[in-house]
């Protein structure tokens, strides 16, 4: 065994954590957890580092990540609970995280019942006119320019104070750049262009703004872990999210 290879104790801890996290997912293609410590430090509840790497991870809401990498520095655990197969953190651990989402992952998320239900019946007001939006289809394309395009088909229900209502099929196309919201949990969109069938620019921009209120990074949190967004790196058909994460617990099996 080389100096960098995990010993039997480290392998056992890592396997416990892998099983615990796997049980919180609907599906995972590959998951590896590497916990590094030594017998002396372990007795004192000290872990040098925890590395989590996963591929094809499907969350409970049918949200999929192409890959996830999380790396911590020192972590404090309860050694006695760990011996019983329950890794308890004595205090939250800070870590760096990188998430890769493919274009297919994002469109799968938009089509999921979890997101689709949030998109139905959106209400907004533009120039004292009230609207309700029922979405039929939304598609994202990730561009190598660092931006992304959105194509949306929906029914626009327009009502006024005369109790008159009209339902019209509409479409909207936009090119946007995702930005980090101040709280690091949500995504803002910088609108580069927007055009729609029978829509004025103000209404198109209002629809996009309403959609961004639903883009919540916490949807991709693993149990016991909270993400704070730092920046995006958009490439053709791929989005890389760089984030900070706080690990409060490692799920038990």
pLDDT, tens digit only, all 253 positions of the chain: 344 666 767 888 888 888 888 888 889 999 999 999 888 888 888 999 999 999 999 987 778 999 999 999 888 988 888 877 788 888 888 999 999 999 999 898 888 887 778 777 888 888 888 888 888 888 999 999 899 999 999 888 876 644 455 678 889 999 999 888 877 777 888 899 998 877 888 888 888 887 776 666 666 777 778 888 898 899 999 999 999 988 888 876 5
Statement to judge: residues 229 and 242 lie in one domain = yes
- Exposed / middle / buried, residue 207 (Cβ in 10 Å: 0-12, 13-18, 19+): buried
Task: Determine the pLDDT at residue 207.
Answer: 85
Burial class (CB in 10 A: 0-12, 13-18, 19+), 9: middle
pLDDT of residue 166: 65
Inside any domain, residue 78:
yes
Please indicate, yes or no, if residue 119 is contained in any of the structural domains.
yes
Q: What is the DSSP string of 16-43?
A: HHHHHHHTTSSB-SEEEEEEE--HHHHH
Q: What angle do CA 125, 128, 130 make, to 5 degrees?
A: 45
Residue 51 lies inside a defined structural domain of this protein: yes
Say if residue 240 is in the same domain as residue 155. no
What pLDDT score does 150 carry? 92
At 163 the pLDDT is 44
Token pair 């050694």 in the structure block, residue: 79
Same domain, yes or no: 90 and 129: no
Q: Does residue 161 lie in a domain region?
A: yes
pLDDT of residue 1: 39
pTM of the entire structure?
0.85
Same domain, 135 and 206: yes
Same domain, 78 and 148: no
Note whether residue 190 is domain-resident: yes
**In terms of residue numbers, what domain contains 240?**
8-101+222-247
- Co-location of 187 and 130 in the same domain: yes
| Beta strands, E only, 147-220 | 148-159, 165-180, 187-196
Please tell me the total count of domains within the chain. Answer: 2
């Amino acid at each position: 065994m080389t100096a960098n290879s995990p010993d039997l104790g480290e392998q056992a801890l890592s396997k416990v954590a892998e099983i615990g996290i796997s049980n919180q997912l609907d599906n995972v293609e590959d998951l590896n957890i590497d916990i590094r410590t030594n017998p002396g430090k372990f007795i004192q509840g000290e872990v040098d580092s925890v590395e989590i790497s996963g591929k094809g991870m499907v969350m409970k809401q049918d949200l999929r990540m192409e890959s996830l990498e999380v790396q911590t520095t020192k972590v404090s655990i309860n050694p006695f609970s760990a011996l019983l197969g329950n890794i308890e953190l004595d205090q939250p651990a800070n870590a760096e995280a990188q998430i890769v989402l493919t274009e297919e992952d994002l469109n799968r998320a938009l089509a999921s019942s979890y997101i689709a239900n949030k998109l139905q019946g959106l209400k907004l007001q533009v120039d004292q006119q009230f609207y309700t939006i029922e979405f039929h289809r939304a598609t994202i394309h990730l561009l190598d320019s660092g931006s992304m395009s959105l194509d949306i088909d929906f029914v626009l229900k327009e009502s006024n104070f005369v109790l008159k209502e009209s339902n019209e099929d509409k479409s909207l196309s936009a090119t946007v750049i995702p930005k980090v919201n101040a709280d690091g949990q949500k995504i803002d969109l910088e609108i580069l262009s927007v055009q729609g069938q029978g829509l004025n620019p103000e209404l198109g921009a209002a629809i996009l703004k309403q959609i961004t209120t639903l883009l919540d990074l916490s949807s991709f949190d693993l149990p016991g872990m909270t993400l704070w967004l730092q920046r995006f790196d958009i490439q053709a058909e791929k989005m890389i999210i760089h984030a900070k994460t706080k690990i409060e617990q490692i799920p038990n099996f």
